[in-house]
Amino acid sequence: MAAQQFRRVGVLLHQSLLYPRLTCRENMEFYSELFAIPDAGAHARRWLERVGLQRAADELVSALSRGMEQRLGIARAMLADPDLILLDEPFAAMDADGVALVSSLVREALAREAAVIFTAHAPLEIAGVDLRMFKLESNGLTPFKDEGRRGSLRNLLRRN
Amino acid sequence: MKNPISIGLAAATCLSMVAALFMVFVYVPTEAEQGIVQRIFYFHLPCAWVAFLGFGIVALAGGLYLWLGHKVWDDLSYAAAELGMLFCTLVLVTGSIWAKPIWGVWWTWDSRLTTTFILWLLYGSYLLLRAFADDTDGIARFAAVLGIVGVLDIPIIIISVRLWRTIHPAVLLTRQGEHGLQDLRMVATLLVSLAAFTIMFVWLLWMRVATLRLRTRIVRLRRTLALRELAEAHR
Amino acid sequence: MLEGFGPILRKDLRLEVRTGESTVVLVSISVLILVVMVLAFGPAGARRAEVAAGALWTALIFAGTMGATRALLSERESGCLRGLLLSPVEPATIYAAKLSVAMIFMAQAGIAVLVVLVLFFNLDFGGALLRLLPVFLLGIVGLAALCTLLATVSGRVRAGAMLLPVMVVPLFAPALIAGSKASAAVLAGQPLGAVITWLKLLGAFDVLFVTAGYLLFEHVIFED
């Protein structure tokens, strides 16, 4: 029913949605199982390697640094290869490697034709990606740069 | 208040209540064994009926709210709970007043009293929940669920309490209080009183729902206004 | 239909094995309630089976409300509940899993209470304890079903955790009557056949509230 729709959506919120008293591996395995991914253990290991957390795999999430937790949170959001990815501040608390990692993950997602929508504090660029930027105001979204590409979030979604 | 339905209900309540009062105090003959105190029965039973009716509406309106999502069903549910609580309290009070001269005690764990008391507790917890919570959509759904679960529980409460008292028979409960309506005039009085209480309940419910609707509107208007002010301050 | 049930249950039990918090708190609270009851009523006397049954059920009610709250509490940290709701798992499945976790917590507390009962009341329970098992199990299914459904209120309403017993006790009243009467009879040495009416009543309560909870849970679990 309705819950099945969430198989195709990946979300990163302000909160990490990770269990602080489970290890990184256990968190990823748990969410892989929830998304009914076959061989959850191997899948979790692959993702931990992908976000560079293989050495911290057996650390409790509560022991992670903010940046590591953010990496794991993004891995959690993307682990089911969703078609729509919503990321709230994916670059927050990230070092240079982290920014590069998130950028490459976004590129990969776009390459398999997923839609990615994210928020950020400051305007930024991801190499090789044509970003459509909007300013979030109390009365809705306005295009960040007035370069003739007017549109709303709905148009953006339709185009993808 | 200028609503014709509201005025009609008010008039019907007044007329039927006057008729009921007349019949209870003048028309109906005094019951032979219990004496004058038995007349409270003509208020006691209608109160109980209305209290049960109120609970039915709480659950029904709650279900409709979950299904259709319109706030008016939530308001109806809330209003019915408040009135149900009022009449449930009246049942317990009139019951106590009646029990004292007949059974010699204010309270006994008779099966019907116990059932009413548990019902009263259910109403109480529902209203406490609403009093503690902010008036949000989430709490309306929660209250609806609580109301539905409460009504589902009532048949089991009635059965269990009846079994509970049969297994431990009450010493005090010796006579079947209200099955002795020998006189046709007593039946007529009871029916008129039931009608009067039902009409009054509907009228009160109508007014309470109207008040709650107004409150919802005020809350909404305030929110819109605050948002508009915020937007203007930004400019 | 119950896809995701196993992982949630396993995850919660793993968390509990790791910290042991709920077990320790629930067992000590229920044993303390039992001690209070025994001190208040005295362990001896003709009505000791009734006192024992009453103590058991009082302890269970509080263990039940706390257990169900604990079972949902693990999801409140770091917004994990949202993570669950944003996964393909049906809300009803989450309910089933949390119901099972709450039941396991309550069973632990109940077993601790039973052990202490045997010691304190110095009763030759033996077979009676075995006959108590169906009454006990039927009782905690209904209690867990009710508590899990309503425990979603804590964290949403001010003082929600305190409000939970206020809502649970009147709703649970019929099962409480049935459970404590049946327990008292069984502990006094009567066979199960003598309490079959109470068992049926408990069964009806369980069926009703498990079904209601399963169907209604999705309406209470989502936050705004």
ipTM of this complex:
0.87
For C132-158, the pLDDT digits (tens) are 888 999 999 999 999 999 988 876 777
Report the C-alpha gap between B206 and B212 in whole angstroms: 10
Q: What per-residue confidence (pLDDT) applies to A154?
A: 46
All partners of chain B with 3 or more CB pairs under 8 angstroms: A, C
* H helix and E strand count, chain C: 8, 0
Our CA-based measurement puts residue C18 at a distance from the nearest CA of chain A, in whole angstroms, of 8
For residue A15, the model assigns a pLDDT of: 83
Q: Average of pLDDT values for A23-31?
A: 91
Chain A residue whose CA is closest to B233: A138
Residues B73-98: pLDDT tens digits? Answer: 999 999 999 999 999 999 999 888 88
Chain A residues in contact with B234 by the CB 8 A cut-off are 137-138
Tens digits of residue pLDDT in A133-159: 777 766 666 666 544 444 444 444 444
Give A139 to chain B, closest Cα distance, Å. Answer: 8
Q: Which residue has the higher pLDDT, A101 or C118?
A: A101
Question: Between chains, do C197 and B150 touch, taking CB under 8 Å as contact?
Answer: no
| Residue in chain C lying closest to A7 (CA) | C88
pLDDT of B5 > 60? The answer is yes
Q: What is the DSSP letter of B170?
A: -
Three-state DSSP string of chain A? CHHHHHHHEEEECCCCCCCCCCEHHHHHHHHHHHCCCCCHHHHHHHHHHHCCCHHHCCCEHHHCCHHHHHHHHHHHHHCCCCCEEEEECCCCCCCHHHHHHHHHHHHHHHHCCCEEEEECCCCCCCCCCCCCCEEEECCEEEECCCCCCCCCHHHHHHHC
- With CB atoms and an 8 Å threshold, state whether B230 touches A139: no
- Of the pLDDT bands very low, low, confident and very high (cuts 50, 70, 90), residue B101 is confident
Residue C179 near residue C198 (C-beta atoms within 8 A): yes
Residue A10, by phi and psi: left (phi above 0), alpha (psi -120 to 50) or beta? beta
- How many CB pairs lie under 8 A apart between chains A and C? 70
Domain boundaries, chain C: 5-221
Kindly determine whether residue B156 and residue C208, on different chains, have CB atoms separated by under 8 Å: yes
Exposure b/e, A86-112, CB count within 10 A at least 16 = b: bbbebbeebeeebeebbbebbeebbee
Lowest mean pLDDT among A74-88, B48-62, B102-116, B188-202: B102-116
Interface mutation vs chain C, best among B139, B149, B167, most C CBs within 10 Å: B149
| Closest residue of chain C to B164, computed from CA coordinates | C177
Joined together, the tokens standing for residue B36 give: 């004058």
Q: How far apart are CA C75 and CA C68, in angstroms?
A: 12
pLDDT category of residue A2 using cuts at 50, 70 and 90: low
Tokens encoding B199: 């009409």
Position C206 pLDDT exceeds 90: yes
Residue numbers in B near C146 (CB within 8 A): 149
Partner C contacted by B135 (CB < 8 A)? no
Letter for the amino acid at A18? Answer: L
Residues B73, B65: Cα–Cα separation, whole Å: 5
Best B160, B161, B162 residue to mutate vs chain C (most C CBs within 10 Å)? B160
Q: Which residues of C touch A (CB under 8 A)?
A: 3-4, 6-8, 11, 14-15, 18-19, 74, 77-80, 82-91
Instruction: Give yes or no for residue A114 having a pLDDT over 60.
Output: yes
What residues does each domain of chain A span? 2-129
The residue type found at C44 is A
pLDDT bucket at A7, cuts 50 / 70 / 90: confident
CATH number attached to the domain at A2-129: 3.40.50.300
User: SS3 for C15-47, per residue?
Assistant: HHHHHCHHHHHHHHHHHHHHHHHHHHHCCCCCC
